[in-house]
Homo-oligomer: A and B are copies of this chain.
Amino acid sequence: VTKRSSAGGRQRRPDARPTEILSAALDLFAEKGFTATRMEDVAARAGLSKAAIYLYFDDKTAVLEAVVRHTVLGRLDEARAMAEGHQGRVADLLRLLLMFMAGRMVGSRLPDIIKLIVAESRAHPEIGRFYLDNVIMQGLPLFEGLIRRGIAGGEFRPVDAALAVKSLIAPMLMAAIWRTVFEPLGATPLDIEALASQHADLVIRGLEP
């Protein structure tokens, strides 16, 4: 990995190449969809020749997978850390986590990734499964545990925790889709953080005994 990110060579650090390709690819996949994106386009946007991409990735599919992996990985730990470090009312933590998600919907390419997965999961189940395993199956139990803790501590009414999680999170999915699907069509922009904030209120009040 540390191949030679050495001196200030005129040569673009080759280690940056894969990342550049992924960035170009994500732009295009998000804009035109996976199938409609030609490898040549990706190459052009990354400033390379078509063939050069194949030095770094086996396949068009491999690029897609890498895009998803690259964008998604590592952030969940952050959320988990927040959860673990937390003292006090569960409700506050839930709100915090929801705001964190909202932040990622606004400040990262997560919405594009989500749309990509929805669109391509049938044709490329690996990426759907990757997201399911690494994001959803990590995130849902985290939230679910918190809600159960809230119930156990008397902070919340007894509800079906698994469903409650979906109630809590769903607007973030909607936000991703609104932003990537409907806003480009001219729909009124959605204030995702305001949505998250008010939604947290709503659901937390709804959960209180």
Contacts and interface: CB of A to CB of B under 8 A. Distances in A.
Contacts of A123: 32-33, 36
Interface in A86-138: 115, 117-123, 125, 128-129, 132, 136
Interface string A139-153: 000000000000000
Interface stretch (A9-17, A58-66, A69-77, A192-200): A192-200
B187 A167 contact: no
A201 to B, nearest CB: 7
Copies in the complex: 4
Contacts of A182: 128, 132, 136
Given A33-B123, A129-B185, A173-B173, 6 more contacts: A121-B184, A132-B186, A164-B202, A170-B174, A174-B174, A202-B203
A52 interface: no
A36 B169 CA distance: 31
A33 to B, nearest CB: 5
A103 B5 CA distance: 54
Contacts of A173: 170, 173-174, 177
Given A128-B185, A167-B195, A173-B174, A202 B159 contact: yes
A198 B190 CA distance: 25
Contact of A132 (B31, B159, B187): B187
A84 to B, nearest CB: 25
A195 B118 contact: no
15 contacts: A33-B122, A115-B118, A119-B119, A121-B184, A132-B182, A159-B201, A159-B202, A163-B194, A163-B195, A166-B195, A167-B171, A169-B174, A173-B173, A203-B203, A205-B208
